Amino acid sequence: MGVAMKILLASLLALGLCSLAPPPRVSAPSLPRNSDGELEVSIMKLTSIEWRRGARLPDWVKALDGQRVKVLGYMALDTDEGSHSFRQTWDQCGCESAKASHFIAVDLGEKTTGYNPDEISVIGTMSVGEREEDGFITSLFRIAAESVH
Amino acid sequence: MGRRVLRGVLVALLLGLLGASGGGTQEPESEVERYLRLAREGSAVVRPQAAQRLVALGAPAAERLLLECGGSPDELARLGRHLVEVLGEFSDVRLRERLWQALADPDFPWRPSAALALAAAPFPAERAAIGVLFGDPLAAVRAAAVAAAGSLEVAPDEPALNALLADPDARVRRAAAMLLYREGDGCALAWLLEELNRDDRFFEQPDGKLARYAAARLLGEALGDTFGYEAEYPLDDERNASAAEALEARFRAACGGELPAVGEIARAGARIEGAVIGLELRSCRRGEYFLRWSVADELFVGTGNAVMVQLPAGTVAGLLTASEACFAELGGRRLFGEPGCDIERFRFRPDPAGRSRAVVISKGQAAVEGLRPAALARLARLLVATLPTDGLDPRLSNLRARVEAALAAIGG
């Protein structure tokens, strides 16, 4: 086997190994983790990122995907009685929360809620990334909630 | 083939023909119609996106919107906030005329949106009219007017912009400071520096933090760097020590040495302790009010460095008793009305160290009779009676009458 062939094979092997290896893990966000192991995420910091459709998200935001988090914020005013989900926003009126990056879509699963005007704490597993429905981006940040207080 | 069978075949054919010419061949909804519908009736997150899709369609969408606008602000209002907000992006003179007409009507519910729409590519001939909006009663309109002035191809009115640095609303002050900086006044950054130091709250709502994030974003645009400033914390927090040093040095250099002292209204005020009752009003027609009553018989008006009014001894004790009775009478119900741009939020926190409870009244653009329950109407009357009718601070000027007007516009 010639040297050139060996180099080619070595390169192909290296490429193959690279493609088999898991993608580089984005470093864990430098956010405080409380005694229950939840990352305490500031909703204002999260929803202040510059975002437009298709844009790459900051690494610290991507690193939240799959993490157990706790987020303090408010329920959007348009939460109907008996809802299985709601938008969590940083302000009491939710007036500026119509952009997909300006709220967290909270999924309550089988549970339901009505509008609560007080500050609420949501604990659950976060997922991050554009969710598209019928051609529109309907959320960027989501929490599968375990509890809402 | 019998006669009966033949008749059946004919009937079937006839029905088929009718079906083909009727509901069965309904025209598919055009893109313009679909986006128009979704911008009005879609979910909260879809409406602004659908409005932007209409803008991307250009002239055909503009013509369709002109038809929908009709000839009066009432008809324009029916488009809803998100469509009104994008009308300026069509650069269509006829749509701009409709927007100006709507802005002249104090009862048009989407005046801030109309002002924002006009801020998109304004014409130089509109400079004077935009300047008039600097004195608008609605802070959101004033802030949008500053944005419009910044988009003009002619220099803005600097004395008028300087006057806005003493505006009671932080959004207006920030917008004015940014525009002045862009026009070459480096000292205007002092007003943004002050915002970075805010740490005030309205009950649990972290207004100071919100101001820090907004100011940091603007400074990032202006300077291209915020030197590691972390808006989660005020500038004087030790975690921001090196950023504070770098930012202050940069600001002083921009101002040729010393930064000017900002006025009382723009200063980062201390956190207010002891607030037990709150009333937050957001009227799309009559403006926003943030009122707090403390156990020390103090009334605080506004957010940020709120202005304090000393009330007669025992005033707040009486209000606390009335609030307790009111919240008890309402039971567990927390929302009256439908989500919309008009909001009354009553807050009650008998233990100043605890968390507040809120009851909300809300509605859309149309008036709703008897929206405010009797218990809250009684409490609102008692709260309003403690407000000053006037004062030296602009936030106190004619305060009682203005709050009464906002309450009337929301809960009736």
Domain segments of chain A as ranges: 27-148
Distance of residue A1 Cα from the nearest chain B Cα, in angstroms: 55
**Whether CATH 1.10.3470 fits A27-148:** no
Distance of residue A65 Cα from the nearest chain B Cα, in angstroms: 21
Is residue B284 located within the same domain as residue B262? no
Is residue B175 located within the same domain as residue B89? yes
Contact B45 A99 (CB under 8 A): yes
Structural domain containing residue B350: 275-410
| CA atoms of B239 and B275, how far apart (whole Å) | 29
- B350 within some domain: yes
Contact A48 B231 (CB under 8 A): yes
Question: Is B364 at the interface with chain A, CB within 8 A?
Answer: no
- B340 within some domain: yes
Question: Is B29 at the interface with chain A, CB within 8 A?
Answer: no
Q: Which of B46, B204, B206 sits opposite A138 (nearest CB)?
A: B46
> How many other CB atoms are there within 10 angstroms of residue B303's CB atom?
24
pLDDT bin (cut points 50, 70, 90) of residue B6 is: low
CB burial of residue A99 (10 Å; 0-12, 13-18, 19+): middle
Contact A136 B50 (CB under 8 A): yes
Contacts A42 to B, Cβ<8 Å = 232
Per-residue model confidence (pLDDT) at position A84:
96
Residue of B360, B201, B217 lying closest to A115 (CA atoms) = B360
Per-residue model confidence (pLDDT) at position B370:
87
Is residue B346 located within the same domain as residue B394? yes
Residue of B388, B368, B386, B405 lying closest to B323 (CA atoms) = B386
Q: Which residue has the tokens 């103090």?
A: B298
- B212 within some domain: yes
Per-residue model confidence (pLDDT) at position B121:
86
Contact B44 A115 (CB under 8 A): no
Residues 43-82 of A with CB under 8 A from B: 44-45, 48, 76-78
- B19 within some domain: no
ipTM score:
0.85
Is residue B354 located within the same domain as residue B237? no
- DSSP-assigned letter for residue B78: T
Question: Is A100 at the interface with chain B, CB within 8 A?
Answer: yes
- B9 within some domain: no
Q: Is B198 left (phi over 0), alpha (psi -120 to 50) or beta?
A: beta
Average of pLDDT values for A99-104? 93
Average of pLDDT values for B365-393? 94
- DSSP-assigned letter for residue B318: H
Contacts A115 to B, Cβ<8 Å = 334-335, 360
Which residues have CB under 8 Å from A103's CB, separation 6+?
A47, A76, A87, A88, A89, A94, A97, A139, A141, B45
CA B254 and chain centroid, separation: 31
Question: Is A31 at the interface with chain B, CB within 8 A?
Answer: no
Is residue B257 located within the same domain as residue B296? no
Question: Is A97 at the interface with chain B, CB within 8 A?
Answer: yes
pLDDT, tens digit, 9 for 90 and up, residues B318-357: 999 999 999 999 988 999 998 888 999 999 999 999 999 9
Residue A103 phi, psi dihedral angles, 5° rounding: -155, 165
pLDDT bin (cut points 50, 70, 90) of residue B361 is: very high
Contact A138 B43 (CB under 8 A): yes
Contact B355 A118 (CB under 8 A): yes
Q: Between A24 and B376, name the one with better pLDDT.
A: B376
Q: Which of A95, A103, A117 sits opposite B335 (nearest CB)?
A: A117
Is residue B205 located within the same domain as residue B300? no
- DSSP-assigned letter for residue A90: S
Contacts B343 to A, Cβ<8 Å = 77, 93
Chain A interface, mutation test: which of B35, B45, B341, most A Cβ atoms within 10 Å? Answer: B45
Contact A117 B345 (CB under 8 A): yes
- B26 within some domain: no
Picking from B248, B266, B284, the residue at the C-terminal end of a domain is B266
Question: Is A40 at the interface with chain B, CB within 8 A?
Answer: no
Question: Is B210 at the interface with chain A, CB within 8 A?
Answer: yes
Over 70: is that where the pLDDT of A101 sits?
A: yes
Contacts B232 to A, Cβ<8 Å = 42, 44-45
Residue of B386, B301, B404, B390 lying closest to B344 (CA atoms) = B404
End-to-end distance of chain A based on CA atoms, in angstroms? 69
Q: Which residue has the tokens 């938008």?
A: A87
Average of pLDDT values for B143-155? 91
Per-residue model confidence (pLDDT) at position B9:
53
Q: Copy the structure tokens of residue B377.
A: 């109407």
Is residue B219 located within the same domain as residue B284? no
Share the mean pLDDT of chain B: 91
Domain count, chain B: 2
Q: Which of A48, A90, A117 sits opposite B360 (nearest CB)?
A: A117
Q: What is the CATH number of the domain that holds B311?
A: 3.30.1560
Over 80: is that where the pLDDT of A11 sits?
A: no
Average of pLDDT values for B157-168? 94
Over 80: is that where the pLDDT of B107 sits?
A: yes
- B18 within some domain: no
Per-residue model confidence (pLDDT) at position B98:
95
Q: Which of B42, B49, B345 sits opposite A137 (nearest CB)?
A: B49
Q: Between A96 and B34, name the one with better pLDDT.
A: B34
CB burial of residue A122 (10 Å; 0-12, 13-18, 19+): buried
H-helix segments, A22-85: 43-47, 59-62
Contact B359 A117 (CB under 8 A): yes
